Amino acid sequence: MIPLKSVEVELEVRDHVATVVSTLNYENKEDKPLEAVFVFPMPGDAAVCHFSATIGQTQIVAEVKEKQKAREEYDDALSSGQQAFLLEESDQSPDIFSLSVGSLPPGESASIRLEYVTELAVQADEGLRFCLPAVLNPRYHPQGSAGGSVQVTSVPTSLVPYSLSFSARVSSPRPVSKVESNCPLDPLEYLNTEQSQATVKLAAGHKFDRDVELLIYYKDAHQPTAVVEAGQTSAKSGTLMGDPVVMLSLYPEFPKAVMSSLASCGEFVFLLDRSGSMQRDRIKSARDTLLLLLKSLPMGCFFNIYSFGSSHEHIFPKSVEYNQETMEEALKKVGEMEANLGGTEILRPLKDIYSHACIPKQPRQLFVFTDGEVGNTKEVINLVKKNSGSHRCFSFGIGEGASSALINGLAKEGGGHAQFITGTDRMQPKVMQSLRFALQPAVMDISVKWDLPKEVSVTVLSPPITTLFQGQRSLIYAQLTGQSPEAAEGSVTVKYSLAGHPSQNKLHFSLKPAEDSGLTIHRLAARTLIRSLEMEEMERRGQPDEGVKKKVVELSVQSGVSSAFTAFIAVKKGNGETIQGPLVRRNVPTLMPMMAMCGGGASGGQMMGMTRSMSRSTPMCPGSFQRRSSNCSLDIEPQQPPRDPLLQLVSLQKASGCWELDPALAAAVGKTSEEENKEVWATILALIWLHGFKMDAQEEWELLAMKAVSWLRAQNAPCVTECVEAGNTLLGCKVQKDALGI
């Protein structure tokens, strides 16, 4: 008998901060006392800030205590017949929590309330992403590492014995444009005429068989903002919880002159997960994405491709210069890649990559693709942090259940950007967005200067900003100590050097605390500080720093926010009888791992018995690049399987940016067979086709089209205007020469 009956989730979004309240309802229908254990995923950067239990008419609010003390108190309570509840974060990864509901008597019901706050990440299309993880993938533990001890029963989706209800309320200073989801939603309901407040619910009957993802769109989402939150009245002045805290959201605007020319150098290292869980659509989508990436790289850069599972491989012994020969060799090997390397040993290939010295004047850009199933998350992130001065890291979580702690942690500590590809999302647009970031000039000498009234001092709680990208948000939390005058204002100025030119962005803000903001910002600030201290402790592995651990425990207890070294404990005091012998333990089941059903899995390591769900990418439609009124086409190697027409065209582009034309098409359009004319004509024809038929996928081909335009300009061909006119006629398009950029 499974004691978990239902899960209710209420989401409140204020601008780009979310508060999530989950209620889990348990009932013991057996004839003996039970202990129920539920292991579940959580957003990796969430701050768990409230945990309580209701039994009958009695509510018990949990306290945050040092983890070992909390565990001992829980065990003592159970052995003496009392009811107890324990919530703790996994030692290996901050996005896994376990909830133990102890000594639930026969016929008794219990309701568990769990609350956390989290920042919402900004997507490439300016949407804010909230994800309620439903799926907890098996976590691969490298050989010799300490595996997880919690085992969880898995069942097929149709047999998951508990239901989910989900509702959301969204409010912002700006109008809410729309809310989208990967799951069916009831219609969005606006609560005011300004459309700045709205509610939405998950449609009835949702099976909770995948992560619930919401994308929230505001008008003018990229406006810098500052929110000052009043401290807790019961907390001592001068402490984090007692003083006001400000949260700054900065969106740097770079000079247009600098942004018009993307970098033409760099060392691009691609690290691809080829473990068993990447089978079928995932590995195919990854291969197609690597095709686009390789075609979009600038001439003169360097690159290499690593892939990993239980072991790891590389295409070249070290990064090589990008040209036609090396590109073709890489693409041939990419086309042969399968998800056949077993487990998920990501630490070893990272160490291999970092063992190679950086190439002078070629900034290293690392792209990591994984479904995020590792148990040594903290160790991996710490390695990236140690090498953060030598590269930028861009990470991609593939499919439901990818570890948000791993994906976000890699990008945050590596000074890059994180993306998640779930459901029917196409991987290519998101990856190409990150490539644009990687091609942006590196921002140097970043500094933050505060200008506040003399009565107010500032303590910055966030780690120093080490990276800035055009249009991407940077968050800063700071504690404000001292009394500010009425209607006082402050400002913060971010200064930096971009492509050798000094630049700055300034934000003015009111020091008056926002009304009804609760302690959300304080808790997020505490979480930020806790995570920084935990990373500091990680760097001393082998030499534990008790001072840092003590600081984390004190801050966690003071703020009521969970950490790696603390846990929530609640005990219902009563006249319970001492229990003889062990309690009956019931592991609450979650979804059946799909890899178990289709033969995938890991080797050479340990697996925790958790759950997995596979997502399917949109299938590629077969076809060929061809003109409307002719049966001639660009040559496609006969051994290639049918592909998306866009990817077929992209596969034919040369490293220099041009396309070549086969003699049959040259004769059909009445052009000469001179080599330079053939290439100019074919390149213009390809660009017209992209603009005429594939504008909906412009994000995917924009960079390789820019490379083609650069190549055309360098040719100084006299026939460009005539070729554009002829190409439009041939393809039945009306694309203007200016639109092509030539």
Confidence of residue 605 (pLDDT cuts 50, 70, 90): very low
Give the list of residues 6+ apart from residue 328 with CB closer than 8 angstroms, or none. none
CATH topology of domain 4-138+163-221+560-581: Immunoglobulin-like (2.60.40)
Residue 734 CB contacts under 8 Å (≥ 6 apart), including other chains:
692, 728
On the question of a common fold for 4-138+163-221+560-581 and 263-439, the answer reads no
Contact 477, 247 (CB under 8 A): yes
User: Any bridge partners for residue 406, and if so which?
Assistant: none
User: Of 507 and 674, which is predicted with more confidence?
Assistant: 507
Q: What mean pLDDT is reported for the chain?
A: 81
Q: 378-432 pLDDT, tens per residue?
A: 889 889 988 888 888 999 988 876 788 889 889 988 888 888 887 677 888 889 8
E strand segments, 612-680: none
Confirm if 584 and 92 have CB atoms less than 8 A apart.
no
- The structural domains of the chain, with segments of one domain joined by +, span 4-138+163-221+560-581, 236-258+443-557, 263-439, 645-740
Confidence of residue 535 (pLDDT cuts 50, 70, 90): confident
Q: Is 63 exposed, middle or buried (0-12, 13-18, 19+ CB in 10 A)?
A: middle
To 10 degrees, the CA torsion angle through 587, 589, 593, 599? 70
| pLDDT number for residue 1 | 54
Pairing relationship of beta strands 154-155 and 590-591 according to DSSP bridges: parallel
Whole-angstrom distance, CA of residue 511 vs CA of residue 272: 47
Q: Residue 640 pLDDT > 70, yes or no?
A: no
Reading across the β-sheet that carries 176-181, which strands appear in turn? 121-122, 128-132, 212-218, 176-181
Q: Please name which of 75, 55, 29 lies closest in space to residue 582, comparing C-alpha atoms.
A: 75
91-95, 160-164, 226-230, 237-241, range with the lowest pLDDT:
160-164
Convert the pLDDT of each residue in 462-471 to its tens digit: 988 877 777 6
Domain 263-439 bears CATH identifier 3.30.930.10:
no
Is 236 in a helix, a strand, or coil? coil
**CA separation for the pair 193, 47 (Å, rounded):** 33
Q: Which fold has domain 236-258+443-557?
A: Immunoglobulin-like (2.60.40)
Average pLDDT over residues 155-163: 59
Total Cβ atoms within 10 A of residue 664: 13
pLDDT beyond 90 at 68: yes
131, pLDDT greater than 90: no
pLDDT for the residue 691: 94
Mean pLDDT of 702-714: 92
CA distances, 397 to each of 139, 252, 281, 375 (Å): 14, 26, 14, 15
The tally of CA atoms less than 13 A away on the side-chain side of residue 588 is 25
pLDDT digits (tens, 9 = 90+) for 430-458: 898 889 888 887 777 889 999 999 999 99
pTM recorded for the entire structure: 0.77
CA distances (Å), origin 620, targets 290, 388, 616: 15, 37, 11
Question: Residue 489: pLDDT band by 50, 70, 90 thresholds?
Answer: very high
Ranked by mean pLDDT, the top range of 138-152, 445-459, 501-515 is: 445-459
